[in-house]
């Protein structure tokens, strides 16, 4: 009996010890926090370079030494097709490029003697020019007149031009010009070379220009066409694909003048003039090489055309909003060149039927399939009256058919045509930032667990004692 009591007491002590150890471990674990691993809050980045100032705290530029030198360039330009006396209007369209230009007997030539300051500073001094029209077939030239300050000595055939005192700015040229005429007796293939002498600030220089005489006569052929304007057209750049046989009021279209040299001689000094005066159109823009004079309401183009070459000159206009249907718009371009002239005309009828987006007053003025929108006074499709063109998105109208059979021979069919409109809201991709996840503040046992464990242990001890 004593052994049983001793054994029971030992069991009770073991149970108490194990229970106390369990409670201690549970208490320690319940006071710690578990953190779930998460992505880093930011990406690592390269170390920014360190900028270190080397030198004194303040740096200054005191000045750069320069030297002044005089570097003059003497050269000569020549222009053909200049028919008016001085002062001359010279442009790139009739300049004689190089020294192999071809002219014919009777042509006029303007020589321009130039000194250009290519030095590094402004230079002041007296500038004069001298040109002797002897030798190198220069006797085939007849002096006509020159700029103010130019004179001609008949006995020595010398042209002298005094430019006076000049403050020659770096990079700019200064000169004088005079005009001559090629003799009708000049022979075919003759080369005429002309050299001048310039004196500026004590420095002398020369420049020359030559050309070839040809008795061949240039012949030009031409035409004038109206083209429809396309949306890709920009000022001076036009796509010429579809001819506009008729135009409508307020319509924009393109006039194109085409010239072809069908001869073996160069057509120099070609001048194209196109007047829009008293026409129910408004000028808009033109290609390079042409200029618009708003005062004279006239377009002018200057050029030279080589043998076999074709050139086009285009400009855009807009028909008046008030032009009446059935009106014929007539336009004529006048082309002149030393060997002849051309009149190139184009007549365009204003159509009584207009297309999409053109001005209308009644539905009869709109082409088939269009109606006249009284709000905008433009021809539109009936489905696009509120749009700004004739192409718009039309709501989808699906047809749903339902059939119900009553008896063996009778079928009733009803058609419902709802309008389906789908509105899709834009979606945004939302990226949530990663944040640490903290597990609950519990260990293996929480407080209720400890209480339950203790109660069970107590009952076990009582049970053992009662058993003894």
Higher pLDDT, 453 or 98: 98
In a domain, 15, yes or no: yes
Q: Which of the listed residues 327, 350, 373 is the one where a domain comes to its end?
A: 350
Residues 205 and 256 in one domain: no
Judge whether 406 lies within some domain.
no
Quote the pLDDT of residue 387.
Answer: 75
Q: Which of 16-30, 153-167, 285-299 has the lowest mean pLDDT?
A: 16-30
User: Are 109 and 200 members of one domain?
Assistant: yes
Residue 410 is predicted with a pLDDT of 39
**In this model, does residue 354 exceed pLDDT 60?**
yes
Q: Which domain holds residue 313?
A: 220-350
pLDDT of residue 405: 45
Q: Clarify whether residues 142 and 271 are in a common domain.
A: no
* Domains in the chain, number: 3
pLDDT at position 413 is 43
User: If you average pLDDT over each of 280-284, 350-354, 369-373, 421-425, which comes out highest?
Assistant: 280-284
pLDDT at 275 over 60: yes
Question: What is the Cα–Cα distance from 242 to 79, expressed in whole angstroms?
Answer: 38
171: Cβ contacts below 8 Å, ≥ 6 apart: 116, 117, 118
d(CA 289, CA 202): 40
Q: How far apart (Å, rounded) are the C-alpha atoms in residues 197 and 128?
A: 9
CA angle 422, 428, 432 (to 5 degrees): 145
pTM, to two decimals:
0.46
**77 and 202 belong to one structural domain:** yes
Summarised one tens digit per residue, pLDDT across range 6-41 is 766 776 677 667 666 665 655 665 555 444 444 444
8-state DSSP, 55: S
Residue 326: the pLDDT is 83
Of 350, 368, 392, the residue at which a domain comes to its end is 350
Mean residue pLDDT of the chain comes to: 79
> Which CATH number belongs to the domain containing residue 275 in this structure?
2.60.40.740
Separation of alpha carbons 80 and 93, rounded Å: 9
pLDDT at 61 over 60: no
Q: What is the pLDDT of residues 400-457, one digit of tens each?
A: 555 444 444 434 444 444 444 444 444 444 444 444 444 445 444 455 555 555 666 6
Tokens encoding 410: 């009778």
Which residue bears the tokens 């377009």? Answer: 299
Stretch among 3-17, 69-83, 119-133, 367-381 having the lowest mean pLDDT: 3-17
Q: Are residues 323 and 228 in the same domain?
A: yes
Cα-Cα-Cα-Cα dihedral sign, residues 134, 137, 139, 144: negative
Find the mean pLDDT for residues 303-307: 92
pLDDT digits 0-9 by tens, 162-187: 999 999 998 899 999 999 999 999 99
Between the CA of residue 439 and those of 33, 436, 443, 446, what are the distances in Å? Answer: 7, 10, 10, 14
pLDDT higher than threshold 90 for residue 153: yes
Indicate the helix (H) or strand (E) that contains 76: strand 72-80
Asked if residue 332 belongs to a domain, the reply is yes
Which whole-number Å values give the CA distances from 259 to 118, 186, 273, 331, 347, in the listed order?
A: 40, 29, 13, 17, 19
End-of-domain residue from the set 294, 327, 350: 350
């Amino acid at each position: 009996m004593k052994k049983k009591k001793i054994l029971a007491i030992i069991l009770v002590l073991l149970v108490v010890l194990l229970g106390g150890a369990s409670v201690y471990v549970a208490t320690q674990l319940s006071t710690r926090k578990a953190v779930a691993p998460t992505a880093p809050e930011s990406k690592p980045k390269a170390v920014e370079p360190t900028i270190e100032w080397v030198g004194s705290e303040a740096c200054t530029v005191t000045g750069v030494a320069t030297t002044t030198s005089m570097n003059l360039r003497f050269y000569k330009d020549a222009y053909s097709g200049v028919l008016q006396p001085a002062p001359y209007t010279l442009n790139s369209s009739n300049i004689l490029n190089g020294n192999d230009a071809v002219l014919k007997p009777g042509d006029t030539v303007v020589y321009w003697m130039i000194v250009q300051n290519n030095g590094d500073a402004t230079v002041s001094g007296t500038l004069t020019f001298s040109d002797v029209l002897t030798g190198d077939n220069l006797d085939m030239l007849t002096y006509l007149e020159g700029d103010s300050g130019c004179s001609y000595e008949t006995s020595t055939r010398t042209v002298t031009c005094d430019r006076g005192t000049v403050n020659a700015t770096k990079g700019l040229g200064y000169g004088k010009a005079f005009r001559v005429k090629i003799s009708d007796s000049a022979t075919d293939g003759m080369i005429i070379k002309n050299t001048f002498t310039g004196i500026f600030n004590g420095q002398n220089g020369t420049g020359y220009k030559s050309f070839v005489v040809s008795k061949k006569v240039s012949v030009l052929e031409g035409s004038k066409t109206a083209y429809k304007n396309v949306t890709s057209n920009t000022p001076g750049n036009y796509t010429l694909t579809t001819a506009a046989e008729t135009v409508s009021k307020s319509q924009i279209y393109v006039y194109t003048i085409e010239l072809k040299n069908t001869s073996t001689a160069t057509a120099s000094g070609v001048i194209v003039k196109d007047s829009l005066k008293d026409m129910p159109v408004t000028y808009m823009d033109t290609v390079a090489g042409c200029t618009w004079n708003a005062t004279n309401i006239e377009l002018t183009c200057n050029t030279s055309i080589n043998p076999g070459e074709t050139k086009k000159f285009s400009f855009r206009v807009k028909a008046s909003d008030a032009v009446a249907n059935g009106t014929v718009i007539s336009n004529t371009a006048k082309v002149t060149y030393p060997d002849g002239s051309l009149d190139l005309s184009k007549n365009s009828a204003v159509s009584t039927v207009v297309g999409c987006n053109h001005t209308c007053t009644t539905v009869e003025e709109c082409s088939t399939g269009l109606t006249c929108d009284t709000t905008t006074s433009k021809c539109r499709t009936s489905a696009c009256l509120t749009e700004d063109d004739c192409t718009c998105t039309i709501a989808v109208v699906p047809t749903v058919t339902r059939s119900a059979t009553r008896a063996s021979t009778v079928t009733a069919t009803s058609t419902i045509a709802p309008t389906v409109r789908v509105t899709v809201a834009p979606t945004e991709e939302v990226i949530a930032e990663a944040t640490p996840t903290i597990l609950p503040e519990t260990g293996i046992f929480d407080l209720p667990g400890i209480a339950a464990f203790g109660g069970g242990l107590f009952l076990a001890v009582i049970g053992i004692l009662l058993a003894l």
